[in-house]
Amino acid sequence: MSGQPVFFYQVGTFAVGNRLLDPAMRSGQADPDRANALTSGHRACQGCGEALGARYVLDAAMRATGGRLVVVNATGCLEVFSTPYPETSWRVPWLHSLFGNAPAVAAGAAAALRAQGRDEIRVLAQAGDGGTVDIGLGCLSGMFERNDDVLFVCYDNEAYMNTGVQRSGATPPAARTATTPAVGDRPGNRFGQGKDLPAIAMAHGIPYVATATVADLRDLEAKVAHAMTLHGARYLHVLVPCPLGWGSASCDTIRVARLATESGLFPVFEAEHGAVTGVRRIRRRASVEEYLRLQGRYRHLFEPTRRDDVLDAINAIAEHNIHRYGLLAHPEVA
Amino acid sequence: MRSQIEGSRAVAEAVALCRPQVIPAYPISPQTHIVEALSERVATGALGRCQFINAESEFGAMSLAIGASATGGRSYTATASQGLLFMAETLYNAAGLGLPIVMTVANRAIGAPINIWNDHSDAMSQRDSGWVQLYAENNQEAVDLHLLAFRLAEELSLPVMVCMDGFVLTHAVEAVDLPDQAGVDAFLPPYQPRQVLDPADPVSIGAMVGPEAFTEVRYLAHVRQLAVLERLPYLAGELAALTGRRLDVVSPYRCDGADTVVVALGSVLGTLKDTVDELRDEGVPVGVLGVTAFRPFPFEAVATALAGARRVVVLERAFTTGVGGIVSADVRAARPGTACHTVVAGLGGRPVTSASLRGMLRDAVTDQLEPLTFLDLHREVVDRELARAAATRRSGPTAENVLHDLRGGAR
C-alpha cells in the first residue's frame, strides 16, 4: 500500500507522523511485523532511554539482516532489567557473559559463525558507557584493531546507573553522581579531558562510526541499517538519558536527548574509515542552560548560587563541538 | 605416528587433530610454542575454516572462546601463570555457562616475585573455577589428555583445562605417538552444543538468576563435574582402543604392598617413580600415586589406591599461604585417619631431584618427616631476611634482599 499524501502541519516539531509516510520510509517500529527484539514486560524504569534505544537498534538490525542476528550483551542495566529470572525480554539469540568482555565475546561469536560457514548471520554487541569506555575498552580496542565483523553499540547514559549512579569515564564535567557529589568548591564531576569514544573508535580507522540519540529515532534506525550493510568493526554511540541518574522527569527523556544535540553538547555525526562523512546539524539552537536545567544532576550549578564560571566552561565545550563538527547549518544566523 | 617432537608441538598436533574451529590466543611463556604452531596450521589452511585470533589479552582470549563456543564453534586456547589469573573472571563465566572450551595451561609460577618457571600455583589458584583439571605426567599423556579433553568437555558441556608443566614438558623433546586423523575423527564427533546462539531458535544465555534458583543452577554444575569421574574412565577406554594407551583419573605405581605412598601431579611423577624404583630395590616399601584428574577430585579412586598405605606424603608444586598443602586437603578427606604429610617442592622451577626425594622418603619411612616440609629450603637465607626485617623498619624488598644475599653481598 502506498502512503497517504504528506502534509506538514505547523505543530511546533519537525516530526512527520509515520502514517503519513510511504511505508518504505516509516519507522521500523511502525511495522506490525517488527522483530520486537526487546519485548514488553521488562523492568526498566519509566522513561528509560536505554530500553528505547535498544529496542529501536535491535529491531532495525533484525530488519536489516532478515532476522539473521545474534546479540551479545555486557553486564549492566540493560542485561539486568531484561532478564529477571526466570523471564527474558529478548526475542533474539542473546548472550550475556561479563561486564568488560562483550566486544571479545561478540568477536568470538563472529569467528565461530565464519568457521561454520554461517557468516550470513551477523553479530551485534551492546553495552552501557561503563562497559564500553571503561572496563570494556581493552577488548573493544582489540575488536576494532582486528576489524572483527561486529556492530558494537554503546548506550551512553553517562554514569554507572545499574550500581546506583556512580561516575564513569563518560560522565560529563560538573555532573553530580554518587561518587562525584555536589559538595565542596568544585561540586560534581571534575573537568578532565573526557573520553571521546567515537573519536577513539575513529582513530582505529574502522569502517563505520556513528553517534545518535533517542531524540531522533529514525536517524538511529537508519544508522543501524547502514551499519549492517558494512562488514568489519562498526561502532554506534547512542546517547540515552536516564531519568533516575540524571534527575530528569521520565516524560522528558526525548526532550533532554534533543537538547543535548541542539545545544551542541552531544554532536551527532557519521564517520567512515576515520573521516567524518555526515553531520546532523542543529536545527533550533538551544542554550546549554536549557539542557542542564532539566536535570537534577546539574542543580548545584543554579542553586543556592548560580555558578556562571562552571556554566561558561560547559558552554565552551558546546562551542568547541559546534566548531569542530560544523554543527550549525547557517552559522551566520545562529 | 611416533616421532621425536617438542611437547608444545605435539600438543598443537593433537589439538589440530581435534579440528578446532576458533583459536583465540595471547602470548605468554611457556605456552607460546603451542599457539605459534597452531597459527601456522591455520595460516596454511590445514585446519580448513578454523579462525585463529590474536587477542588483546588473556581476558580477551577467553572471552573470544566464550563467544565462539556459545555460537557452536569448537574452541581452544592456551595460557599460563599471570595469563590464567587475568582470565579468572572469564574462567568462572565459561564454567558457569557450561561451555565446553578446552585450554592448555603450561604450568608456571605466579608473581610476585615474577618468575617464568614451572610450578602449579597458576592452575591451583583456579581449582574452584568449575573447570575440569587434568594433569599430564609426560608429553605423551599431554597429547592423549587433549584428545580426551575435547570429547569429555563436549559430552558433559563443561570446560576442561589440560595442565602440563611449563618448560619441563612444553619445551622437552620426547618420543610422542600421535594417532591418525581418521582415528581421531571416529573418537571425536563434530561438536553438538547443548545451547547455541541460533536465529532459528533464539535463546537467552547468561540471564540473571536470583536466590530462588541460584543454588540449583550451581548444584547442577557440581553434578555435571562429578559425572567426569564416571565418564572419563569410559571415554579413556574408547581412546585406548585408538592409541593403545589407557588413561584414568589416577595412576598408581607400585602401590601394592607400599607402606608409604607419595601422591603427586604432573611431570615430577617421572622422577618420583625412578626414586621409588631405587628404594624398592633397597627393600623400602614405597609407592607413587599420580593424580590425573584433580578437579573433580577422585576421592574413591584415591582412597582405593591408598587403602594399603600407612602413611601418605603429598608432594605439591604449590601451596596455600598460611595453611600449606592444597592437594593434601583433598587427600586427607579421601583417607581420613591416615597420616598425611605435605611436601612443597619445585616452586618457581627449582629442580626436584631424586637425591632430595630419597632423603625426604627416608625421613618419611622413619617417622622423621614433619607434617609440612618445604623441600630444599635454604633456611639460612630465610633466617637472614627475617633477622634483617626484625632489626630495621625499612628493610627493603624481600626478593631483592634474598637475591643480594645469594650473590654473597652484604646489605
**Per the CATH hierarchy, to which homologous superfamily does domain A34-333 belong?**
Thiamin diphosphate (ThDP)-binding fold, Pyr/PP domains (3.40.50.970)
Answer yes or no: are the C-beta atoms of B313 and B260 closer than 8 Å.
yes
Q: What are B260-307's pLDDT values in tens digits?
A: 999 999 999 999 999 999 999 999 999 999 999 999 999 999 999 999
Chain B residues within 8 A of A116 when measuring between CB atoms: 21, 49, 71-73
Provide the pairing of β-strand B51-54 with B311-316. unpaired
Partner residue facing A115 (CB), from B21, B65, B203:
B21
Candidate CATH numbers 3.30.465.10, 3.30.565.10, 2.30.40.10, 3.40.50.970; the one for domain B2-243: 3.40.50.970
pLDDT reported for residue A30: 83
Answer yes or no: are the C-beta atoms of A92 and A71 closer than 8 Å.
yes
pLDDT reported for residue A5: 57
Answer yes or no: are the C-beta atoms of A202 and A271 closer than 8 Å.
yes
Q: Tell me the ipTM for this assembly.
A: 0.96
Candidate CATH numbers 3.30.470.10, 3.40.50.920, 3.60.21.10, 3.40.50.720; the one for domain B250-374: 3.40.50.920
Q: Which position has the grid cell 542552560?
A: A289
Partnered with residue B253 across adjacent β-strands are: B288
A44 touches chain B (CB under 8 A): no
User: Looking at the predicted structure, is the pLDDT value of residue B152 above 80?
Assistant: yes
- For B95, which residue in chain A has the nearest alpha carbon? A97
Q: What are A60-99's pLDDT values in tens digits?
A: 999 999 999 999 999 999 999 999 888 999 999 999 999 9
Q: Exposed, middle or buried by CB within 10 Å (0-12, 13-18, 19+), for A43? A: middle
The nearest CA of chain B is from the CA of A188 a distance in Å of: 32
- pLDDT category at A333 given cuts 50, 70, 90 is very low
Task: Say if the Cβ atoms of B71 and A139 lie within 8 Å.
Answer: no
Task: Say if the Cβ atoms of B68 and A80 lie within 8 Å.
Answer: no
A66 touches chain B (CB under 8 A): no
For chain B, how big is the Rg over CA atoms in Å? 22
Q: Which position has the grid cell 623433546?
A: B173
pLDDT reported for residue B408: 80
- pLDDT category at A332 given cuts 50, 70, 90 is very low
- Distance set, CA B42 to CA A115, A155, B15, B52 (Å): 11, 36, 12, 6
The nearest CA of chain B is from the CA of A43 a distance in Å of: 13
Check for a shared fold between B2-243 and B250-374. Answer: yes
Task: Say if the Cβ atoms of B55 and A98 lie within 8 Å.
Answer: no
Domain locations along chain A:
1-32, 34-333
- pLDDT category at A192 given cuts 50, 70, 90 is confident
Domain locations along chain B:
2-243, 250-374, 378-411
Task: Say if the Cβ atoms of B66 and A101 lie within 8 Å.
Answer: yes
How many Å apart are CA B355 and CA B361, to the nearest integer? 10
Choose, out of B41, B64, B74, B86, the residue to mutate when testing the contact with A (most A CBs < 10 Å): B64
Decide: helix, strand or coil at residue B320: strand
Q: Which position has the grid cell 612444553?
A: B170
Chain A residues within 8 A of B198 when measuring between CB atoms: 70, 93
How many Å apart are CA A116 and CA A121, to the nearest integer? 11
Average pLDDT over chain A reads 93
Provide the pairing of β-strand B372-374 with B339-344. parallel
Answer yes or no: are the C-beta atoms of B399 and B113 closer than 8 Å.
yes
pLDDT reported for residue A334: 39
A51 touches chain B (CB under 8 A): no
B67 conformational bin, left if phi > 0, alpha if psi -120 to 50, beta if neither: alpha
**Residues 222 through 251 of chain A touching chain B, CB cutoff 8 Å:** none
A96 touches chain B (CB under 8 A): yes
Report, as an integer, the average pLDDT of A164-171.
97
Total residue length of chain B:
411
Report, as an integer, the average pLDDT of B390-409.
92
DSSP state letter for A282: B
Q: What are A207-242's pLDDT values in tens digits?
A: 999 999 999 999 999 999 999 999 999 999 999 999
Q: What are B342-391's pLDDT values in tens digits?
A: 999 999 999 999 999 999 999 999 999 999 999 999 999 999 999 999 99
User: Looking at the predicted structure, is the pLDDT value of residue A247 above 70?
Assistant: yes
Report, as an integer, the average pLDDT of B139-156.
98
Partnered with residue A270 across adjacent β-strands are: A210, A278
Q: How many helices (H) and strands (E) does chain A have?
A: 11, 8
Residues 6+ apart with CB under 8 A from A192: A173
pLDDT reported for residue A16: 64
Residues 6+ apart with CB under 8 A from A173: A188, A189, A190, A191, A192, A194, A310, A313, A314, A317
**Residue among A287, A293, A319, A295 at smallest CA distance from A306:** A293
How many Å apart are CA A31 and CA B358, to the nearest integer? 80
